[in-house]
Amino acid sequence: MQSTAQSSTSSLPVADPTALGLFGLAIGCASLLPVAFGVQAALTPEALRTCAWFCLFFGAGCQFLAGLMSFANKNMLGGTLLTTFSFNWVMNWWSLSELAQGRVPSSAVILAVDVCFLMIFVVMTYAFGFFSRLLFVFLLDIDALYVLRIARELTHANTLALPIALATVALMALALYIAFSLVLTNAAGRALLPIGAPLFQAGALSAAPSRTSEPSAMGADQTQPIRALAA
């Protein structure tokens, strides 16, 4: 028997994949935590290779699949965020694999890319503020993570390692909460874990967009659940 939330998505090519991407993100973050907190047992070549494969299959794989499915559902914001971030997880896999073999990736190149990522995510953070306060906080945590990474590279301050690790924990927790909210709403047909109303009010467009070009965010493929989540 289908729930009300499930029946409302019958016109979409695929089910909302956002929870899949967020679960993959959370698992990828979890695999990085021992390294981020400097656990000695996690700094061996075997441990780094293990972490690398979790980053590839869950961090990159789940988000890439979720991103493509979001695009199939005409979800531009969610698809853009998930797909772009998935390739960053591929780079995490490569970096950890290189470290496991005693080769250190170029810090200058990574710094330049981190600055570019920060600019991208600042704009994406503002965009997601039009859909949910919690999604805004989720993106804000990613912004903070990149600011800390850039600051550590510029200042060479090892004291920033702990804030980076804590920001990773927060990112994992937020990803899990939003994913749990989406799957429980889909199952129950009502909001059990609310994600908050929009932070910003969107203005009216000069011309009404077609249905296939309407803006949407992560998890916004399911109209009724998102209305409930925003309540």
pLDDT digits (tens, 9 = 90+) for 28-50: 999 999 999 999 999 999 999 99
Residue 9 covered by a domain: no
pLDDT digits (tens, 9 = 90+) for 150-190: 999 999 999 999 999 999 999 999 999 999 999 999 998 88
- Is a pLDDT exceeding 60 seen at residue 229? no
Q: What is the pLDDT of residue 23?
A: 98
Residue 27 covered by a domain: yes
Residue 11 covered by a domain: no
Q: What is the pLDDT of residue 217?
A: 62
Residue 146 CB partners (closer than 8 Å, separation 6+):
114, 117, 118, 121
Helix, strand, coil % over all residues of the chain, rounded to 5: 70, 0, 30
pLDDT digits (tens, 9 = 90+) for 49-64: 999 999 999 999 999 9
Secondary structure (DSSP) of 119-130: HHHHHHHHHHTT
- Is a pLDDT exceeding 50 seen at residue 214? no
Q: What is the pLDDT of residue 99?
A: 96
Q: What is the pLDDT of residue 141?
A: 98
Between 17 and 11, the more confident residue is 17
- Is a pLDDT exceeding 50 seen at residue 224? no
CA distances from 218 to 1, 65, 222 (A): 26, 14, 10
Q: What is the pLDDT of residue 10?
A: 58
Residue 120 covered by a domain: yes
- Domain total for the chain? 1
Question: Which residue bears the tokens 């203005």?
Answer: 203
Q: What is the pLDDT of residue 133?
A: 93
Packing angle between helix 76-100 and helix 45-54, nearest 10 degrees? Answer: 160
| 49 vs 78: CA distance, rounded Å | 30
- Is a pLDDT exceeding 50 seen at residue 211? no
Return phi, psi of residue 66, to 5°. -65, -35
| 36 vs 14: CA distance, rounded Å | 36
Rg (CA), the chain: 18
Q: What is the pLDDT of residue 216?
A: 56
Residue 59 covered by a domain: yes
Residue from 94, 92, 68, 99 nearest 81 by CA: 68
| 103 vs 92: CA distance, rounded Å | 14
Average pLDDT over the chain, rounded to an integer: 87
- Domain, as residue range, for 113: 16-192+210-229
Return phi, psi of residue 23, to 5°. -65, -40
| 26 vs 24: CA distance, rounded Å | 5
- Is a pLDDT exceeding 60 seen at residue 191? yes
Residue 54 covered by a domain: yes
pLDDT digits (tens, 9 = 90+) for 122-160: 999 999 999 999 999 999 999 999 999 999 999 999 999
Q: What is the pLDDT of residue 42?
A: 95
Q: What is the 3-state secondary structure (H, E, C) of 138-185?
A: HHHHHHHHHHHHHHHHHHCCHHHHHHHHHHHHHHHHHHHHHHHHHHHH
Residue 203 covered by a domain: no
Average pLDDT over residues 75-83: 94
Residue 204 covered by a domain: no
- Is a pLDDT exceeding 70 seen at residue 193? yes
